Amino acid sequence: MTQKSSAVHLPRPATPLTDVALDAERDPFLAALGERLRMLRSRRGLTRKALARLAAVSERHVANVESGVGNASIQFLRQLTAVLNCSLAEMIGDETASSPEWLMIREILRGRSEAELAAGRIALTGVFEAPTSEAARCQRVALIGLRGAGKSTLGRVLAEEWKVPFVELSRHIETIAGCSIGEIYALYGPNAYRRYEFRALEDVIQRFPKAVIATPGGIVSDPATFNLLLSHCFTVWLKATPEEHMARVVAQGDLRPIEGNREAMEDLKQIIGSRTQFYAKADASVDTGGVEQEEAYRRLADKLRESRPRQAI
């Protein structure tokens, strides 16, 4: 009878980094991929831990890819894009290479200013969607921005002053879904939430020719929903400093942003940074920081009087 060996097999030492691995660390493509992944994650308001959990991947691998030193597989990226609601082409930075028409459109748009691109987007919207008159669009005022900016508080006061319906889109999403927003995410995931968000906004636009609408902070993360909002509502970006956003949310009794997250403020700043260019597409902006509610409302009312066409007032 042969006696089994009792030797303990120690793990082999890690192989030293080769020149190829060192080059990979410095690979501009991997660095750009990591930067895009961070941007897409922040835009959707997800922490690295939350993204890894929803995509069923290693948080450490996500961190390596974001740092530009992780050589991600196609399957890994597909799992991330499913959560981030984007295409692989967008993740790797070439979303306009899917057809000859895309390539030709891309060449027309290449090098244009932000103002020219905005004009192009509006023109395309007119081609593919039923036109909305400027006067009709301005009858609905939609407030956008992060939580704690004052959308619900100021929106209610504005609606009462104008004697029009006040709609909190988050509550309308829950009505259509038949469950809370937390349950939508837990049961069906972020993509399902975005679909409910789009349907809820469509319904509000159809039902309310005049209204004040408080939107969720991440509505700018979905291009289709944000396009719909810009096309049918006069949008106002309510903004404040990251510290004020955080303090107001906590003052409302919601401690979730800071519980178990020592990097909550840094995460919040990244979210603001990734969404700023989208929020800036609003028709007007109002800084609600550093003032009492009455002054913030006065600023909003004054801005609306200045910015909206006279026939809409």
Q: How confident is the model at residue 158 (pLDDT cuts 50, 70, 90)?
A: very high
Q: Is the pLDDT of residue 143 over 60?
A: yes
Question: What's the mean pLDDT when you consider all of the chain?
Answer: 84
Tell which wins on pLDDT, 133 or 185: 185
Query: Structure tokens of 13?
Result: 């030492």
- Checking if the pLDDT of 5 tops 50, the result is no
pLDDT tens for 233-258 read: 999 999 988 888 888 777 766 555 55
User: Which residue segments constitute the domains of the chain, with CATH numbers given?
Assistant: 19-92 (1.10.260.40), 124-312 (3.40.50.300)
Lowest mean pLDDT segment, chosen from 20-24, 155-159, 254-258: 20-24
- pLDDT of 289 > 90? The answer is no
State the pLDDT at residue 148.
85
Residue 278 has pLDDT above 80, yes or no: yes
- Non-local (6+) Cβ contacts of 68 within 8 A are 25, 27, 30, 31, 32, 33, 34, 35
Range among 27-41, 86-100, 107-121, 163-177 rated most confident: 163-177
Q: How far apart are CA 91 and CA 80, in angstroms?
A: 9
pLDDT above 80 for 69:
yes
At residue 249, the pLDDT reads 76
List, as one string, the DSSP characters of 170-198. HHHHHHHHTS-HHHHHHHH-HHHHHHHHH
**% the chain with pLDDT above 90:** 50
Task: Give the model's confidence band at 91: pLDDT under 50 very low, under 70 low, under 90 confident, else very high.
Answer: confident
Cα distance between residue 64 and residue 33, in whole Å: 11
Residue 16 has pLDDT above 60, yes or no: no
Confidence of residue 95 (pLDDT cuts 50, 70, 90): low
The answer to which of 16-20, 159-163, 205-209, 216-220 has the lowest mean pLDDT is 16-20
Average pLDDT over residues 48-70: 92
Q: In sequence order, what E strands does 94-155 have?
A: 140-144
Mean pLDDT of the 56-64 span:
94
Q: On the CB side of 250, how many CA atoms lie within 13 Å of its CA?
A: 12
d(CA 17, CA 230): 51
Q: Where are the strands (E) in the chain, listed by range?
A: 140-144, 166-168, 211-214, 234-239, 284-287
Q: Which residue did the predictor score with more confidence, 56 or 256?
A: 56
Q: What is the pTM of this model?
A: 0.71
- pLDDT of residue 290 exceeding 70: yes
Q: What is the pLDDT of residue 48?
A: 93
Q: Which residue has the higher pLDDT, 60 or 8?
A: 60
**Average pLDDT for residues 84-105, to the nearest whole number?**
78
